[in-house]
Amino acid sequence: GAVVSQHPSWVICKSGTSVKIECRSLDFQATTMFWYRQFPKQSLMLMATSNEGSKATYEQGVEKDKFLINHASLTLSTLTVTSAHPEDSSFYICSAPRNTEAFFGQGTRLTVV
């Protein structure tokens, strides 16, 4: 199956700093990628759709200035959590579709202290 790599797998940062998470499709091109957030003991909530070469589409209630998404190439999308606060601590996971199937990265556990 297709491979999606997400980096880093975990990160701890200080409150007020920014954190960048990368999502790469390793063996296929993805014009679209999706970013999800998961709080403890909850399901994955779609945050935004990342579109190669154009602006991301954000789900209702997700602050686009807080969660910056860049999809500069057909194999890389990045999510930057700006001015992170403890309430941003969560598990973030990306996915890239290929042939109507979704392939997921390993996820990034962000802890803001």
Q: Which residues bind another protein (CB under 8 A)?
A: 1, 31-32, 34, 36, 41-46, 49, 59-60, 91, 93, 95, 97, 99-107, 109
Give dist(CA 14, CA 32) in Å, integer: 31
Considering the complex, state which of residue 14 and residue 41 has its C-beta at the smaller distance from another protein: 41
Considering the complex, state which of residue 54 and residue 99 has its C-beta at the smaller distance from another protein: 99
Preceding amide of 86 cis, omega within 30: no
Which candidate, 90, 63, 83, places its Cα nearest to that of 15? 83
Considering the complex, state which of residue 79 and residue 93 has its C-beta at the smaller distance from another protein: 93
Is the Cα dihedral 27, 96, 3, 74 positive or negative?
A: positive
**Cβ 55 to another protein, closest distance in Å?**
16
